[in-house]
Structure 1
């Protein structure tokens, strides 16, 4: 068992996430001074009055939905600052939360201004995603503001995401339906609450194992949701590993393709309005793919598994793992039956995200 150093930068970023969820003011500093921020979703009107700014910072994806960027900017959208956009939390939520778009169809006109710090703005969006909140903030320029309750930098956020911080925390035998001799290995990062796990099935035989990257899906894995294919994929992969000489399931705590459970449920609500999974994520203000595959690469490194046979229908996973130094010697498809509730979801994966079904 090994340990990982807890750097001060990562700790500052973790405190910023905590402040964000609590509705506290926090600062993301950069070479221009930085930005003072309060997350719209956790803010209160009394906090906003004390904050003294009605500017908003929203993600580039949400700005594209609101038609606030031109086509050139939409190709690689960055955060957008809206001057005097909202003088109350309710007004800000009407801009930030796409679930309220039907109730508040007319927005603006908005005046966009310089963010006041592009690096700080981009780092704030990463913090929002890791906190599981909407990527929207009340903002003021930190160079001229008073002290924030918590401060971090863009480099601190990068340190928080460094996969080298991941280490093996515990391991134990875990008999499961697919294999009574399976071993579970837990991985932990010092400043984060979510622990990733690997399930090792079978015995090493000198050949690359069958590996499946499975992102946590509470609704599919535990509750048996029919809206996705996550639960059936999980169990089919485990049985395929049991039939192979050996295999490794990497269970990544990255719910909803990395946007968190609450935001995934918001995306579900948007799907009920007719949006597919891709457009739902974009309307929420998130990238289509927000998962961190470097974590999987680090887990395989700690398990001493440099070469794998990857079970996936997503060629992007192959490319991402190879970028992390993992040799993928074979891609193994995973075919499952559809149902009336997930047929459109699977068609979107095929047509818009390149899955080979």
Structure 2
């Protein structure tokens, strides 16, 4: 389900280059297993990504919990924050969650101070061997603010890690002992970070690149200001922006696009879209644009997509595998696509897709979608279930 765009998210006053740099540094630190800090009022949460946690860093947080005092006058005990989807998956492994917990998109667990890093990784990763979650001595709690919990999950997602994090509350005034100033940020600064970063693109390079089946092609690279991977606009022919432009949004798929994986239909969709655009006019002078978006695995990244494949091999379908990992069914954003189209002068499109969410997503970002053009390819023995799930559970129109 697409989340409505908050107009404040597009307000430049909400976000600054300084805040962006702080997030970039924090993301890099989490990926290398370091501790960062989220700030809210007089409190700070020391944050450690569950996926990359190692015993020395976890011991640092356990030391902090023993020496500091949290919001309720008690020691800032170790907490583990998970998405609601991951917590629900852990219930099947013995985790007891009370029925009267607040309605939230995350769950906070109290963690024993002696819990090992390996156990933390087990709680975060559904692809590890079966274990009894309740035997690890964790229990549901609700003593850390939503802004800090959601901020920690957002940072983990931004780092393309599993959306789970260890938290310890400490007084803001005592942070110098634990986290360098470069790795601290206000929790409120994350509220609009993802969408602002996604829409903040600049054109950095372009070149004519003749393609098989579309020799008159140009590739334009757009780089996000957050330092993330470049998105590409592949322009075929000479665009006529006075009328709706035939357009395809294609999320990168390393396994399908490059290796020819039979688990999906991505490679066929990519090459088929290039051919369809090139041949869209009877005289062979087709024109249009294919946006190649750096949103692998519906926005969860290649490593997490491979984890999802393992869960599918164990019986989950595409949607349930994402949920078990702790992600939403589809984590993609459409701001990058809309911004790229605006920068190449396209305001109205005929969208080459089977996915109604793409139509809705572009429209919410200010692009006029005048028509949905079907884009269907035959199934094979390896992707038949995948395509069936797309139709039944994602509402794709085949």
* Aligned counterpart in structure 1 of residue 88 of structure 2, from 29, 47, 64: 64
Equivalent residue runs for 1:84-103 within 5 Å: 84-85=111-112, 87-100=115-128, 102-103=129-130
TM-score by length of 1: 0.92
2:272 alignment counterpart: 236
Matched, 1:354 2:388: no
Residue 45 of structure 1, CA deviation:
0.5
RMSD value over aligned CA atoms? 2.2
Aligned pair partner of 2:19 in 3, 6, 9:
9
**2:106 counterpart residue number:** 79
Q: Report Cα offsets for 1:208-231 as digits up to 9, x if no partner.
A: 111111001000000110001100
> TM-score, normalization: structure 2?
0.83
Please list, as runs of the form range in 1=range in 2, the aligned pairs for 1:294-313 lying within 5 A after superposition.
294-313=335-354
Corresponding residue number in structure 2 for 1:268: 309
Deviation, 1:297, is: 0.8
Give 1:77 shift: 4.4
Per-residue CA distance 1:302-322 (angstroms, 9 max, x = gap): 111000000110111101110
1:120 matched to 2:179? The reply is: no
8 A contact 2:97–2:140 mirrored in 1 = no
Q: CA deviation at 1:32?
A: 6.1
Equivalences for 1:1-357 in 2 at 5 Å?
Answer: 7-31=17-41, 33-52=43-62, 53=65, 54-67=78-91, 77-85=104-112, 87-100=115-128, 102-108=129-135, 110-143=138-171, 146-147=175-176, 148-149=179-180, 150-157=183-190, 158-159=192-193, 161-162=195-196, 163-205=198-240, 206-244=242-280, 245-357=286-398
Structure 2 residue runs of 5 or longer lacking an equivalent are: 1-11, 66-77, 281-285
* Secondary structure class of the residue paired with 2:216: coil
The question of whether the paired residues in 1 share the 8 Å contact of 2:318 and 2:386 is answered with: yes
C-alpha distance after superposition, 1:66-98 (max 9, x if no partner): 236578979x74222111256111111121110
| 8 Å contact from structure 1 (residues 120, 153) kept in 2 | no
Following TM superposition, by how much is the alpha carbon of 1:159 offset from its aligned partner in structure 2, in angstroms? 3.5
> Which structure is larger by alpha-carbon Rg, 1 or 2?
2
CA apart distance, 1:17: 0.4
In 2: Cα distance, 1:221 partner to 1:73 partner: 43
Q: Following the alignment from structure 1 to structure 2, what is the Cα–Cα distance between the partners of residues 71 and 312?
A: 41
- Please list every run of 5 or more consecutive structure 1 residues that lacks an aligned counterpart in the other structure: none
Aligned length: 352
Q: CA deviation at 1:300?
A: 0.8
